[in-house]
Chains A and B, each alone.
Chain A
Amino acid sequence: MPLLEVKDLVVEFPHRRGTLRALDGVSFAIEPGEILGVVGESGAGKSLTGAAIIGLLEPPGRIASGEIWLEGRRIDHLGPKEMRQVRGRHVGAIFQDPLTSLNPLYTVGRQLTETILTHLPMSRAAARQRAIELLADTGIPAPEQRIDHYPHQFSGGMRQRVVIALALAAEPRLIVADEPTTALDVSIQAQIIQLLKSVCASRGAAVMLITHDMGVIAETCDRVAVLYAGRVAEIGPVHELINHPAHPYTAGLMAAIPDMSEERERLHQIDGAMPRLNAIPPGCAYHPRCPQAFARCHSERPELLPAGATQAACWLHAKEGA
């Protein structure tokens, strides 16, 4: 049984002039201990998918249909109170900016012990001991002293380590990490990715890693889902998806990234921009930008179809006569 299963998830934003559909039938699953990357351009719906799973959709956004199952339990219709018990205990969250995800008025130790005591039956002293261990595990030097420091006394990279410790505090089986390294410098980025990978592997926690950086995906993930205009364009094992992309959007995205291993005079560019939510074209949402679009793409929306080692929502991979 998969750890997390998202089935046909639709997220809508009611609006004065009609309803905007930000996620339109997103389905995927995460196995225990697996790292799934979710990649896409701004506005593709990556962060919304994460927010829907941890129950933190900003109103008026709402789940209009679809189901989210975590460890065999349906969580998309839980109330705020029940959801608060799921968050932290069953699914941890890491956000982009470590400064805004920590409370500046509390020491990191207080924030860690509070999380531990909320979810695990433990004495205050044991919780503090556990907090020190967590800080040590996330590579913070001198954790016995650092535990009584405030977030502003940590550097950006160290703060993100505290956030990771906080996400792991109650031993959740799933971590939703939304752009955990985007606010950090490249040299620190590598440290944090390594850390996230090793601490999750040693605890058997699965990770849903949301990022726009294909490089981070390539070195970290087991599988990747590529999102475009609120839909999954392609999903599959990371190596195959990067080296043999089946969806023209994935192929274009990969070619647009300046690569260190080859020299090109011009970069491949995808003309145009992702459609706005109020103007998503009929059929395949990518067809106005797709060099290989044909008649069927303009009228019929493709579902995920097997395409080599991955699955792609593209009519190019439809079986003859299907």
Chain B
Amino acid sequence: MSALPTPPLVQASDLAKTFDVSAPWLNRVLERRPRTLLHAVDGVSFEIERGKTLALVGESGCGKSTVARLLVGLYHPTRGDFQFDGQDAHAGFAGAQSQALRRRIQMIFQDPYASLNPRWQVEDIVGEPLREHGMASGKTELRERVGALLESVGLSPLDMAKFPHQFSGGQRQRVSIARALATEPEFLVCDEPTSALDVSVQAQVLNIMKDLQQRRGLTYLFISHNLAVVRHVSDDVGVMYLGRLVELADRRSLFATPRHPYTRMLLDAIPKMHDTGSARTPVQGEVPNPLAPPPGCAFNPRCPHANDRCRSERPALLSLGGIRIACHAVEEGRI
């Protein structure tokens, strides 16, 4: 038993989060309406090896940001289990060890204009986690650490005295990366970290994130709706649709041989850059209302391969030839 493989750093099994979006109690009683539940994340399982990047992609409302918030402990899951480095993380977030756990898991948010306090100097923004976790004693050490953090994301220690409004969007996002790195975390949850940035600046931020991962052995959960960006940064890719994973595969197979009809649709929807004038294959229909998802496979109303089974029975995520996929048509060999 000596050659036990190291367990993955992050392991989510059947993670689910349900929000109660019912009308107020009095309205429900008077109008005889039942409770309305929104299944934002409905049984999602995946694991991330240490030093790797898992990307989650999907359209708005598919639950990818809710997964991010579950993993950093901002939400408590309705169901399921999240193991971090072999421990039950949600028990950890609630227990006495929560400080230690939160130090190891940090988050980068989408909008660097909203996630930095405009009244704080960069020194305070990046230094706050250090103070909060008691990782620097005295002002000199704090300054030194903040300076080193700013340098590691390509900013200057002289930027410490500046306020967020004195930076461009890309520089602000670097400040938030520096803040996330302050506690020397092992696992970074990045929720659309470059979606608010221009392409030339997006390239700067993605390159920095890649360098940091190589230097510090960081593990990333990278959430994005941009498949081209995902292809550039990820090792594994999970595709989400209406709160569920529909396909989970390593990057190469997902982009070379997408199996799930929804993954194929997403890939077809990307504009081809150097093939000017060629039209994309537009997909019919839109994402259904998550409050009333269609029965069976949630994708069936838009799927060209749907049959009666797809309309009645919900497909489970099955392992098939090295990838995991939730599709009756693929399972039956119809596509």
Contact = CB atoms under 8 A, between A and B. Distances in A.
A264 interface: yes
A302 to B, nearest CB: 20
Contact of B201 (A186, A239, A268, A273): A273
B137 interface: no
A100 interface: no
A279 interface: no
B283 interface: yes
Contact of A260 (B207, B231, B282): B231
B281 interface: yes
A219 interface: yes
Contacts of A189: 269
Contact of B274 (A155, A190, A243): A243
Interface in A73-128: none
Contacts of A130: none
Interface string A234-268: 00001100110000000011101111110110111
Interface string B256-299: 00000000011111111111111111111011000000000000
A215 B270 contact: yes
B306 interface: no
A242 B203 contact: no
Contacts of A42: 169, 198
A292 interface: no
Interface stretch (B124-132, B222-230, B310-318): B222-230
B232 A264 contact: yes
A238 B276 contact: yes
Contacts of A318: none
A212 B277 contact: no
Interface in B193-227: 198-204, 206-207, 210, 225-227
Given A186-B270, A190-B283, A219-B272, A239 B204 contact: no
A194 B281 CA distance: 9
A186 to B, nearest CB: 4
Interface residues of B, number: 46
Interface string B73-99: 000000000000000000000000000
B273 A218 contact: yes
Interface string A116-159: 00000000000000000000000000000000000000011110
Which of A158, A216, A266 has the most chain B CB atoms closer than 10 A to its own CB? A266
A189 B287 CA distance: 13
Nearest to B61: A185
A190 B282 contact: yes
Interface string B131-161: 0000000000000000000000000000000
A187 B203 contact: no
A34 to B, nearest CB: 13
B279 A194 contact: yes
A157 B286 contact: yes
Contacts of B265: 187
B278 A41 contact: no
A260 to B, nearest CB: 5
Given A41-B199, A258-B229, A273-B201, A187 B277 contact: no
B198 to A, nearest CB: 4
Interface residues of A, number: 46
A274 to B, nearest CB: 8
A219 B286 contact: no
Which of A242, A261, A269 has the most chain B CB atoms closer than 10 A to its own CB? A269
Contacts of A259: 228, 273-274
A256 B269 contact: no
A185 B278 contact: no
A214 B273 contact: yes
Contact of B278 (A219, A263, A266): A219
Contacts of B168: 273-274
Contacts of A320: none
Given A212-B198, A219-B272, A270-B200, A185 B287 contact: yes
A257 B199 contact: yes
Contacts of A266: 207, 210
A239 to B, nearest CB: 4
Contact of A258 (B228, B276, B282): B228
Interface in A148-201: 155-158, 185-191, 193-194, 197
Nearest to A185: B59
Nearest to A42: B198
A239 B282 contact: no
B60 interface: yes
Contacts of B225: 185-186
Given A190-B282, A194-B282, A258-B231, A242 B199 contact: no
A213 interface: yes
A158 B285 CA distance: 10
B272 A268 contact: no
Contacts of A264: 232
A174 B82 CA distance: 55
Contacts of A242: 273-274, 276
Contacts of A218: 271-277
Nearest to B271: A215
B34 to A, nearest CB: 23
Interface of A: 41-42, 155-158, 185-191, 193-194, 197, 212-216, 218-219, 238-239, 242-243, 252-254, 256-261, 263-264, 266-271, 273-274
Task: Kindly list the 8 A-B residue pairs having the minimum CB-CB distance in the complex, ordered from nearest.
Answer: A215-B271, A267-B203, A41-B198, A256-B203, A185-B59, A270-B200, A190-B282, A269-B203
Given A187-B59, A190-B271, 11 more contacts: A189-B269, A190-B283, A218-B272, A218-B274, A219-B279, A239-B277, A242-B273, A258-B232, A259-B273, A260-B227, A264-B232
Interface of B: 59-60, 168-171, 198-204, 206-207, 210, 225-229, 231-232, 255, 265-284, 286-287
11 contacts: A42-B169, A191-B283, A212-B199, A213-B271, A216-B271, A219-B278, A239-B277, A252-B200, A273-B170, A273-B171, A273-B201
